A and B are shown apart, each in its own frame.
Chain A
Amino acid sequence: MPSTFEYSFDTPSYKGKVALNTGLFIGGKFVDPVEGGTHDVINPTTGKLTTKISVATKPDIDTAVKAAQKAFNESWGLKVPGAQRGKLLMKLADLLEEHRSELAAIEALDNGKTWSWAYNVDVPGAFSCIRYYAGWADKNSGQVIETAETKFAYTRHEPIGVVGQIIPWNFPLLMLAWKLGPALATGNAIVLKPSEFTPLSALRVAELLNEAGFPPGVVNIVNGYGHTAGAAIAEHMDIDKVAFTGSTIVGRKIMEYAAKSNLKNVTLELGGKSPNIILDDADLDQAVAWAAHGVFWNHGQTCCAGTRIFVHEKIYDEFLERFTKKAQALKLGDPFAKETNQGPQVSKTQFDRIMGYIESGKQDGATVHLGGSPHGSEGYFISPTIFTNTKPNMKIVREEIFGPVGVVIKFSTEEEVIEQANDTHYGLAAAVFSKHIDRALKIAHKLNAGTCWVNCANTLDTQIPFGGYKQSGIGRELGEYALTNYTNVKAVHINLGMEI
């Protein structure tokens, strides 16, 4: 029998008890893994063990897929009308909202983000997303298409079947919602692997899925490692589609496994090295504030972070001074303390990786304008870091760091900055700041990115699609666009009189 993790929160932000089952959630029940593995979940604020959770390997994925198939064939898919699927999703959203404080606490404990950010952004973002897709459940219409009088043709928008979903650790609950929403609205059954670094909120949601009334097997949540459980999902012959959010390196593997197994449909949300272009006629204070949000929010652990900040030479010094002040004002500390703005990075691995990039920046001769070192003696804290005087071929300029590290680059002409901004394999997001909208739009339309922000950064809405150009991804999440990821289009041609 899997064990229950019990925890008592007694913090300035949240007081309360939490109990989570640490097993694999398959067929509506929590079970032990066949090969009996566990993983240590570490609290990034302290570096100490939070709890152990079960981890799945291939035999467990097989069991989960069978449970999903059974549910899809008997109690889900098109057997359940859209309005009913919508109703269950609304119930889930209501439950997430009801447990908002608790879920924020679990998220802060597991990921290290502040309770305040989790409460104000992550959790409401999650239940709003579920509510939005609940509304789509009975609206995924096909078309009737006129060809000739002798043919009646229409399309059906059918669910794909059993889908595999692999989510990252930077916004665990929010990424869970982005995946569950459209997949369930369209009638698919799911085998979902959270990140082993941040499994806790998904385990809590598993219980809420039962409480909301989803039939057993519709959603299966199986924690595990990428190279075992994740790979098993990507290469499973009975999973018809895989959706992955994470690094570009792993995204390539997912696509490779999909190609080599059953050519399953693949959507990917990968990394970025997004440019943020500040023109000389920008509202400087606003640009500084948005730029800081763009790079330091979530401790820099955001795929669309604006990590390459291009500033026009006319305002470069002024910008840098104000931007540095903003970064210096960030308070690092306990995620549950009310005055904390920034918590730790999510894990030792990430900490080492980011520090590695910082060292490489120093070695390559860039100037450490601010920070550049760890913070504190406990946990995985890194000070907000700003590099200047970089060259375009430096690792810190080309590669995704995924930490609170920004690079500020001076430019003179629009042509130059557009070229530099697009000089990357990535294409997730971009931002342009200018008081002249037509100037900003001209530039935004030339940037090769799936999201272009004008006079803002790092702000998303459930109704607006999000996804990457180039090696930042395939497909779009959010908005109506996400429905296509989970829909199989069947064209029906009815012959009304053609004789052969």
Chain B
Amino acid sequence: MSKIVAIPIPGGNKTVPVNTGLFINNEFVPSVDGQENITVVNPATEEILCEVSGASAKDIDIAVAAARKAFNTTWGKNVTGFERSKLLNKLADLMERDQQELAELESLDNGKPVRIARDFDIGDTIQCLRYYAGWADKIVGQTIEVDNKTKLAFTRHDPIGVCGQIIPWNYPIGMWGWKVGPALATGCTIVMKPSELTPLTALKLSELVKEAGFPPGVLNTVPSLGGVGGAALAAHPGVDKVAFTGSTITGRKIMEAAAKSNLKKVSLELGGKSPHIVFESADLEQAANWAALGILYNTGQDCTAGSRLFVQDSIYDKFMALLIEKTNQLTISHGFDENAQGGPVVSKTQYDRVWSFIESGKAEGAKVAVGGEKRTTKGFWVDPTIFVDVKPTMKIVREEIFGPVLSVAKFSTEEEAIEWANDTSYGLGAGLHSNDANQCMRVSSALEAGTVWINQYNLLNNNVPFGGKKQSGIGRELGSYALEEYTSVKAVHWNFGEKLSWPF
């Protein structure tokens, strides 16, 4: 049947068992038509960790059928909010129990430091599941006054149904939680396609889903190539809604497939080229810390990475000196190094892509202030790189790089900064640093982004919504807003007295 592999954990004699089959109906099964396996690589060493089953379109059919059956019989409206709450809380408890082990797997698969995976990625995800557990028994509709005599009008907030969820490789567990929480809380069932680059923790979490007591078919996990599994879910007539986090290019394809198939509901969390503005009144030391975090956290592999830095001319030299100093203080190393604050980029493809942007920056005449040189050791390393003297037309300024590569430009007026910041088809995040309250209000109102940080960057909270304007996405995750993405509103008009005379 399906194979359990023992993944060795560096630094000891420990291994973590991972079942590499497809998780459908609470069982791990092989692909029905023997698809090519997916090779999982450790980005710090370039070594192969293992192979996992890749789902085919036929496997997706089976998973969708399982999710539909569960929705009609043991989940959906057949289970109370109370019960859904209980199971989500149990799942959170199990993640907490296995926090260290999950962090080690995540680090081996994605490259991020174990410490950060454990305390932040997984710590936040446990809170996220608990947050949505709390919503499960609080999904309410409205009663609406029409007239007092004959009609009772009310809305029901029904679960949408079977949801295809396609998640990326930058925060595998984090993105899993953001999707699973609201979908299960509202009563939807899930066919989850984790990224083919980072499938291990999604498979491990599937075991916890079963252990927590979710009925078979409620959550199914089908690692596969995007062009296979992702395309199949987006086009599937049996899927009522698809939620995708990833690149804008792929997001377009998802929406197209949804439109051409059954007009399924679509929510998208896509790319960004988020502006980060430092005004002269800012606390420069703090602003430099946040700016560094904004581009270097998760080795820049963050959809909201503050990748375009705009610094007011009056404080430019002082600020840049601080920023460069802080950038040089960061330790980029393999995940099991206790001192590491960042790891490699996730794959060869990403490595080649990021380096090609860096080369283009040099070729187009931007000046390298920090980094820009490859390492010679094994592993997909990209060290922090800062370009200055950039022009708005350069590729490194217009396109999303998804690595620790920052472009810096100088500005004079607030109007200029806002104009340049908004000059992008993206609209995911934005940050500004200023001690002038009116300026903070003006600029945050003017910035075209779904999340604006004032005197901060990158830090999100489970109860505050997150999502993109413009081509950065459709819909919102987190907070109570995410519930709407998984809810279908039915209005009921109940006549208890109006007789229709005929002809009318």
Contacts and interface: CB of A to CB of B under 8 A. Distances in A.
Interface of A: 82-83, 86-87, 90, 128, 131-132, 134-139, 141, 152, 437-439, 441-442, 445, 462-463, 480, 494, 496-497
Given A83-B130, A463-B138, 19 more contacts: A86-B130, A86-B134, A87-B130, A134-B134, A135-B85, A135-B136, A138-B131, A138-B462, A139-B134, A139-B135, A139-B138, A152-B441, A441-B496, A442-B496, A442-B497, A445-B148, A480-B138, A480-B140, A497-B438
Nearest to A494: B441
A442 B147 CA distance: 12
A128 B136 CA distance: 13
Given A83-B131, A136-B138, A438 B480 contact: no
Contact of B480 (A128, A137, A141, A439): A141
A135 B438 contact: no
A135 B441 contact: no
Nearest to B81: A463
B164 to A, nearest CB: 27
A442 B152 CA distance: 10
Given A438-B496, A494-B441, A128 B138 contact: no
A243 to B, nearest CB: 22
Given A437-B496, A445-B148, A463-B138, A139 B463 contact: yes
Given A138-B463, A494-B441, A496-B442, A132 B137 contact: yes
A466 to B, nearest CB: 15
Closest 9 CB pairs of A and B: A135-B134, A438-B496, A138-B463, A441-B496, A496-B441, A463-B137, A152-B441, A83-B127, A496-B438
B298 interface: no
A480 B89 CA distance: 20
Contacts of A439: 496
B82 interface: yes
25 contacts: A82-B463, A83-B131, A90-B89, A128-B82, A132-B137, A134-B134, A135-B85, A135-B133, A135-B135, A136-B134, A138-B462, A139-B135, A139-B480, A141-B463, A141-B480, A437-B496, A438-B495, A441-B494, A441-B496, A462-B137, A463-B81, A463-B137, A463-B138, A480-B138, A497-B438
Contacts of B131: 83, 138
B479 to A, nearest CB: 9
Q: Which of B135, B137, B438 has the most CB of A within 10 A?
A: B137
A438 B150 CA distance: 9
Interface in B425-453: 437-438, 441-442
Interface in B473-504: 480, 494-497
Contacts of A138: 131, 134, 462-463
A445 B140 CA distance: 21
Contacts of A136: 134, 138
A497 B441 CA distance: 11
Contacts of A497: 438
Interface string B117-149: 000000000010011011111101000000010
Contacts of B148: 445
Nearest to B149: A442
Most chain B C-beta atoms within 10 Å of own C-beta, residue among A132, A134, A135, A136: A135
A136 B442 CA distance: 33
A496 B438 CA distance: 6
B496 A131 contact: no
Contacts of A438: 494-497
A131 B82 CA distance: 9
Interface in B79-137: 81-82, 85, 89, 127, 130-131, 133-137
Interface in B148-180: 148, 152
A441 B148 CA distance: 11
Nearest to A442: B496
A136 B441 CA distance: 30
A441 B82 CA distance: 27
B426 to A, nearest CB: 24
A439 B496 CA distance: 8
A475 B83 CA distance: 29
Q: Which of B130, B442, B480 has the most CB of A within 10 A?
A: B130
Given A83-B131, A152-B441, A496-B442, A135 B137 contact: yes
Contacts of A131: 85
A86 B441 CA distance: 32
A128 B83 CA distance: 11
A445 B81 CA distance: 27
Contacts of A463: 81, 137-138, 140
A138 B127 CA distance: 11
Which of B127, B138, B140, B497: most chain A CB closer than 10 A?
A: B138
Contacts of B81: 463
A207 to B, nearest CB: 24
Contacts of A442: 496-497
